[in-house]
């Protein structure tokens, strides 16, 4: 399997072009990346990934987030295998559901309860539905440019979307208290929820942690309107704080959406909520064929337990800081305008005055050619499997890549 001659990626793309619209869909569509990025992957282990032509990379995308302990983490896979021998998708949940819900409630301070699904979009959609059910109101405040999923009510594209799909969304700017207040005022009497990303991680934009003032104002506005404060922790969940990303700013949401990293790559999502919205969560109808599948829950339990045991956040923060510091020093030494932003364990690497992404693309391609997988506009992800030696190896590569950028 996956033993190809040179240019397997091209061959697979050509075959895909016949049987998949445009060859690929969504965020993993390689044509959205600079020419030279592989579309297909053949293997992944720890913090390494191999493309379909056998080239090995130190990976800073981690499957776009899910891989938090490292690909194929032995403890997670052992727990998954134990459960798989018993059963996975059955006529109802296994005991793993209860154990996992208890673990989420124990781990996440705002959570009095948890529910589970498969996609981040399932979780954000359920949060909004619960908020509307609980408040009897309709309007949802969302930050301009924020990503909350890929179905018509929230998709970044409006192709195939009707006006009515977003009839009750009202926009504000992340970290802009005045715009948030204006949006809340606009919805007076009909505000169901304020939906806000864990931090501002819009594609191609500098990333920003929420300010305390913004987070506290969001909480206060939701309280004043008796509406729900929803944190979309799908991308960031468990990388900034095991208790939920807004623990960093001392603000607790009523509802939070989780997915990506919670089962170290096994398909799972979750909604956590407080008692204020328990009754509403009981009344909505949300379900899916595989939502109680036990293997992904066993994987999530093992993931969360290991994240705690190894102090994963501290490790990822240390590795992220090492990477950031190294990159900053290299950028200075090469006189290249690299601007890192976002939390160190989930950075975005952008270049100043690089609207056409000439520098960013070149940098990423130079790194890629030398065995480091970065992304020119998306949030990157560190994992527990990234050790000092990996960061240092990656930095040797980025030094050469930045030198190449300096020569442009």
Q: Looking only at residues 163 through 182 of this chain, which bind a second copy when binding is defined by CB under 8 A?
A: 164-165, 167-168
* CB-based contact 46:357 (threshold 8 Å): no
Q: Looking only at residues 59 through 118 of this chain, which bind a second copy when binding is defined by CB under 8 A?
A: 59, 61, 63-67, 71-72, 77, 82-95, 97-98, 101-102, 104-105, 112-115, 117-118
Alpha carbon separation from 355 to 203, 252, 266, 335, 359 (Å, rounded): 13, 36, 36, 19, 9
Q: Looking only at residues 198 through 217 of this chain, which bind a second copy when binding is defined by CB under 8 A?
A: none
Q: Does the protein bind a second copy through residue 27 (CB under 8 A)?
A: yes
Q: Looking only at residues 132 through 151 of this chain, which bind a second copy when binding is defined by CB under 8 A?
A: 132-133, 138, 150-151
Q: 118 or 339: whose CB is closer to a second copy? A: 118
Binding a second copy (rule: CB under 8 A), the pick from 47, 69, 129, 301 is 129
Question: What long-range pairs does 94-103 form, CB within 8 A, spacing at least 24?
Answer: 94/292, 94/294, 94/297, 96/294, 96/297, 96/298, 96/301, 97/292, 97/294, 97/297, 99/297, 99/301, 100/297, 100/300, 100/301, 103/300, 103/301, 103/304, 103/305
Q: 70 or 343: whose CB is closer to a second copy? A: 70
Q: Looking only at residues 231 through 260 of this chain, which bind a second copy when binding is defined by CB under 8 A?
A: 234, 259-260
Binding a second copy (rule: CB under 8 A), the pick from 58, 69, 76, 131 is 131
Return d(Cα 17, Cα 266) in angstroms, integer. 28
Q: Does the protein bind a second copy through residue 22 (CB under 8 A)?
A: yes
Q: 156 or 337: whose CB is closer to a second copy? A: 156
Return d(Cα 309, Cα 287) in angstroms, integer. 32
Tell me the closest approach of the beta carbon of residue 326 to a second copy, in angstroms. Answer: 22
Tell me the closest approach of the beta carbon of residue 93 to a second copy, in angstroms. Answer: 6
Q: Does the protein bind a second copy through residue 16 (CB under 8 A)?
A: yes
Piece of the chain touching a second copy by CB under 8 A; list 152-160, 217-225, 240-248, 349-357: 152-160
* CB-based contact 294:97 (threshold 8 Å): yes
SS3 315: helix
Q: 91 or 353: whose CB is closer to a second copy? A: 91
Q: Looking only at residues 266 through 305 of this chain, which bind a second copy when binding is defined by CB under 8 A?
A: 266-267, 273, 278-293, 296
Piece of the chain touching a second copy by CB under 8 A; list 16-24, 239-247, 325-333, 347-355: 16-24
DSSP string across 163-228:
GGGGTTEEEE-TT-HHHHHHHHHHTTT-EEEEEEESSB--TTS--BPPPHHHHHHHHHHHHHTT-E
């Amino acid at each position: 399997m996956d033993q190809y001659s040179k240019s397997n990626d091209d061959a697979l793309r050509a075959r895909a072009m016949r049987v998949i619209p445009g060859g690929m869909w969504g965020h993993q569509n390689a044509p959205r990346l600079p020419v030279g990025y592989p579309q297909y992957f053949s293997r992944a282990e720890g913090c390494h990934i191999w493309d379909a032509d056998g080239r090995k990379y130190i990976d800073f995308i981690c499957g776009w987030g899910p891989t938090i302990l490292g690909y194929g983490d032995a403890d997670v896979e052992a727990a998954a295998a134990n459960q798989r021998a018993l059963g996975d998708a059955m006529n109802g949940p296994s005991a793993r559901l209860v154990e996992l819900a208890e673990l989420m409630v124990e781990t996440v301070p705002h959570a009095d309860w948890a529910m589970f699904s498969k996609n981040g979009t399932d979780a954000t959609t359920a949060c909004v539905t619960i908020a509307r059910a609980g408040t009897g109101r309709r309007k949802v405040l969302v930050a301009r440019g924020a990503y909350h999923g890929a179905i018509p009510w929230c998709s970044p594209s409006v192709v195939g979307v009707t006006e009515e799909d977003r009839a009750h969304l009202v926009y504000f700017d992340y970290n802009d208290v005045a715009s948030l207040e204006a949006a809340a005022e606009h919805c007076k009497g009909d505000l169901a929820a304020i939906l806000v990303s864990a931090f501002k991680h819009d594609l191609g934009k500098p990333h920003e942690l929420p300010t305390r003032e913004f987070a506290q104002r969001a909480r206060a506005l939701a309280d004043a309107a008796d509406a729900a404060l929803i944190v979309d922790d799908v991308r960031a969940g468990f990388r900034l704080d095991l208790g939920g990303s807004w623990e960093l700013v001392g603000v607790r949401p009523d509802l939070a959406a989780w997915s990506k990293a919670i089962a170290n790559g096994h398909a799972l999502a979750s909604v956590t909520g407080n008692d204020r919205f328990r009754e509403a969560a009981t009344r909505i109808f949300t379900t899916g064929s595989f939502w109680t599948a036990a293997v992904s829950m066993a994987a999530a339990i093992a993931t969360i337990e290991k994240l705690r045991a190894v102090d994963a956040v501290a490790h990822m923060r240390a590795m992220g800081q090492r990477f950031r510091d190294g990159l900053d020093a290299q950028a200075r030494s090469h006189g290249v305008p690299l601007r890192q932003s976002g939390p160190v364990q989930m950075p975005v690497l952008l270049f100043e005055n690089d609207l056409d992404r000439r520098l960013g693309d070149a940098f990423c391609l130079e790194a890629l050619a030398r065995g480091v997988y970065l992304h020119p506009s998306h949030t990157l992800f560190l994992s527990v499997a990234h050790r000092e030696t990996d960061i240092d190896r990656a930095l040797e590569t980025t030094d050469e890549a930045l030198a190449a950028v300096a020569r442009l």
